[in-house]
Structure 1
Amino acid sequence: MNLFLRYLPAVATSAALVFAVLPARADGLAELDQFLREVSSAQSSFTQVVTSPKRAKETVARTKTSSGRFEFLRPGRFRFEYTKPFEQTIVADGETLWLYDVDLNQVTARQQKDVLGSTPAALIASGTDLKGLGQAFDLQSAPASEGIEWVDAKPRQSDGQLKSVRVGFRSGQLAELQIVDSLGQRSVLTFADWKGNVPLKAERFRFQPPAGADVIRP
Structure 2
Amino acid sequence: MIVSRRTLGLGVFAIAALAGLPAAAQAGLSAEDRATLARAQTYLQALTSARGDFVETGPGGQRRAGRFWLQRPGRMRFEYTDPAGLLVVSDGSNVKRYDPRLDVFRQVPLGATPLSTFLARTVRFDQGVSIDRVTRMASGAFAITARDAAKPNEGSVILAFAGDPLRLQEWTITDAQGGRTRTQLTTLVNQPNLDASLFRLRDPTRRPGRN
State the TM-score, normalizing by the size of structure 2: 0.76
State the identity as a percent.
24
Inter-CA distance 136–25: structure 2 relative to 1 (3 Å threshold): closer
Q: Which has the higher contact order (CA 8 A, sep 6+)?
A: 1
2:22 pairs with 1:35: no
SS at match of 1:134: coil
Question: Is there any run of 5+ residues in structure 2 with no aligned partner, and where?
Answer: 1-6, 17-21
2:141 to 143, 148, 152: 148
Q: 1:37 deviation in Å?
A: 2.7
**Cα distance change of structure 1 residues 168 and 129 upon mapping to structure 2, 3 Å threshold:** farther
Match of 1:208 in 2: 202
Structure 1 length-normalised TM: 0.74
- Aligned partner of 2:78: which letter? F
Alignment partner, residue 53 of structure 2: 45
Q: Is 1:164 aligned to 2:156, yes or no? A: yes
Paired residues, number: 191
Aligned equivalents of 1:36, 1:30: Cα separation in 2: 10
Q: How does 1:120-139 map to 2 (within 5 A)?
A: 121=115, 125-126=118-119, 132-139=124-131
Is the contact made by 2:96 and 2:201 (CA closer than 8 Å) also made in structure 1? yes
Query: Does the CA-based 8 Å contact 2:11-2:56 persist in structure 1?
Result: no
Which deviates further from its counterpart, 142-151 or 102-111?
142-151
CA RMSD of aligned residues (A): 3.1
Tell which deviates more after alignment, 95-104 or 16-25.
16-25
Structure 1: where are the runs of 5+ without partners?
10-14, 52-61, 214-218
- The code of the aligned residue for 1:111 comes to P
For each residue in 1:157-213, what CA deviation from the matched residue of structure 2 results, as whole angstroms up to 9, or x when unmatched? Answer: 2177x4101111212221001101101111100002221243225443121122546
